[in-house]
Amino acid sequence: MRTTRVGRGIFQPDVTLVAPAGFAHRLKAEAYARGAMLAGVAALGPMETANAFDDWIANGYAGEMSYLERGAGKRRDSTLPVPGAMSALVIAMNYGGTEPDGPIARYARGDDYHDVLVPMLRGLQDWASGELGVAIPGKAYTDTGPILERDLARRAGLGWFGKNTMLISPRHGSFFFLGVLLLGLDLEVDAPFTSDHCGTCTRCLEACPTDAFVGPRRLDATRCISYLTIELKGSIPEGLREKMGGLVYGCDICQSVCPWNVKFSQELAAGSPFAAREFVAGKDAVTLARDILALDQDAFSAAFKGSPIKRAKLRGLQRNASVVLGNVGTTDDIDVLALAQHDDEPLIHEHARWALARRR
Alpha-carbon gap, residue 353 to 254, rounded angstroms = 30
User: 7 pLDDT exceeds 80?
Assistant: no
| Model pLDDT, residue 15 | 65
* Domain annotation covers residue 220: no
**Domain assignment present for 71:** yes
* Same structural domain, 172 and 292: no
- Measured CA to CA, the distance from residue 217 to residue 270 in angstroms comes to 34
Condensed to tens digits (0 to 9), the pLDDT of residues 248-263 reads: 999 999 999 999 999 9
* The predicted structure's pLDDT at residue 299: 98
pLDDT tens by residue, 215-251: 999 999 999 999 999 999 999 999 999 999 999 999 9
> Taking the CB of residue 109, how many other CB atoms lie within 10 A of it?
25
280 within 8 A of 99, measured Cβ to Cβ:
no
* DSSP 8-state secondary structure symbol assigned to residue 237: P
Confidence of residue 2 (pLDDT cuts 50, 70, 90): very low
Residues in CB range of 103: below 8 A, 6 or more apart? 246, 247, 248, 249, 280, 283, 284, 285, 288, 289, 324
- Reading phi first (left if > 0) and then psi (alpha if -120 to 50, else beta), residue 7 is in left
- The interaxial angle of helices 113-132 and 23-33, nearest 10 deg, is 140
Cβ-Cβ contacts under 8 Å for 133 (sequence gap 6 or more): none
Residue type, 305: K
Cβ atoms of 141 and 167 within 8 Å: the answer is no
Structural domains counted in the chain: 2
Cβ atoms of 148 and 178 closer than 8 Å: no
| pLDDT tens by residue, 9-64 | 544 545 689 999 999 999 999 999 999 999 999 999 999 999 999 999 999 999 99
Higher pLDDT, 359 or 65: 65
Reported as a pLDDT band with limits 50, 70 and 90, residue 213 is very high
- Residue-level length of the chain: 360
- Quote the domain boundaries for residue 310: 277-360
Q: Is 264 within the bounds of a domain?
A: no
Residue 360 located in a structural domain: yes
Query: Are 172 and 41 in the same domain?
Result: yes
How confident is the model at residue 8, as a pLDDT?
40
Residues annotated as part of the active site: 143
Q: Do 161 and 22 lie in a common domain?
A: yes
How large is the average pLDDT for residues 101-120?
Answer: 98
173 and 292 inside one domain: no
Identify whether 26 is part of a domain: yes
Domain containing 358 — which CATH number? Answer: 1.25.10
Average pLDDT over all residues of the chain: 95
Q: How confident is the model at residue 360 (pLDDT cuts 50, 70, 90)?
A: confident
